[in-house]
Amino acid sequence: MTHVYVISKGQVETLFGMKDAIKAVERCFVAYSDGKTGMPPIVTSYVKNYGGVLEIKSGYLETDCIGAKVICYFEGNPPKYGLPALTGVVVLNDLKTGIPIAIVNAAPITALRTGAAGAVAAKYLARRDSRSVGIIGTGVQGRYQLMGLNELFDIEEVRAYGRIKDSSMRYASEMSDKLGLDVKAVEAPKDAVENADIVVTATPSRKPIVNSKWVRSGAHINAIGADEPGKQELDPQILTKAKIVVDCLAECKVRGEINLAISEGIIDLSNIYAELGDIVAGKKKGRESASEITIFDATGMAIQDIATSYEIYKIAKEKGIGTTVAI
């Protein structure tokens, strides 16, 4: 009989914050660059009749454990059933024996580590004097991306666009109160992007939302929404004039923001400057001038889910928070 530690959504949110996630994710990027991780391709199953998808992301860190995140994304859940669109679990196993040690709710893990990855990218790629942020997509990740950036930058102004006006207004009100920032809802993507030092795109779009002409010199873009083949948020012309950094090239060229631009011959792999881990590890330079446009293309890395969950597991066990289940 094996005893497994089960950690709920509320317990994750109590035990672990954005600062903790940023540290864990930054450590992951270095480990990945140094070859101290394993991460096979993502397994994806589409449920066409119900508009859903199941993904299995797995891997290991030599300093932590081996594990897998199994998540489902059913976009119709909130309006149809009043259920969250994203659900799932992260299963952690002992690295030496493979014995399961913990099951962690995946929803807060996904939100935290993705927001943290955007923050780490901006730390190395955005101008240090960045003060204005444009948010495209006012859902969960639009919130966590801003939370991550707020940990590292002295933000003075945020302009946020969502395709549903009420959601944008609610986002502006909630994030202003939560972070003490000047967050304004705007009526068009252009209003969010123009004059922004940092732009975040966090939507499920399959056609460009951000026009190349709107992006100012010296801007940094966190392209977060494209995480499966066919998704696209940026005008491909932006990619031709920007320094492109990816989280994992093997995944991004198949399912990231760069996937369509590559398949259509607009750019090729020679246009990809680096994986972020090589910049964090000091093997390549990040931003090199105040005028260059930088892009971070992120599909999400399993090792970030695993490292974040493992840190939470250790804290929960130390504090006696969680439930032990015999399986």
The residue length of the chain stands at: 327
Which is it for strands 272-275 and 243-246: parallel, antiparallel or unpaired?
parallel
Which position among 9, 23, 36, 69 bears the catalytic label?
A: 69
Q: Measure the CA–CA gap between 37 and 112, rounded to whole angstroms.
A: 20
Query: Burial level of 20, CB count in 10 A (0-12/13-18/19+)?
Result: middle
CA 172 to chain CA centroid, Å, is 20
Active site residue 69: yes
Q: Any idea what DSSP says for residue 40?
A: P
Two structure tokens written together for 209: 């939302």
Is residue 171 within 8 A of residue 143, CB to CB? The reply is: yes
The DSSP bridge pattern shows strands 52-61 and 43-47 to be antiparallel
Cα gap 216→232, rounded to integer Å: 20
SS3 201: strand
CA dist., res. 110 & res. 302, Å (int): 10
Beta strands in the chain (DSSP E): 3-7, 37-38, 43-47, 52-61, 66-74, 86-93, 100-105, 132-136, 157-161, 183-185, 198-201, 206-210, 220-223, 232-234, 243-246, 272-275, 294-297, 323-326
Q: What is the dihedral of CA 192, 194, 200, 206, to 10 degrees?
A: 80
For residues 295 and 201, what is the distance between their CA atoms, to the nearest angstrom?
11
d(CA 92, CA 108): 16
At a CB cut-off of 8 Å and minimum separation 6, what does 265 contact? none
Residues with active-site annotation: 69
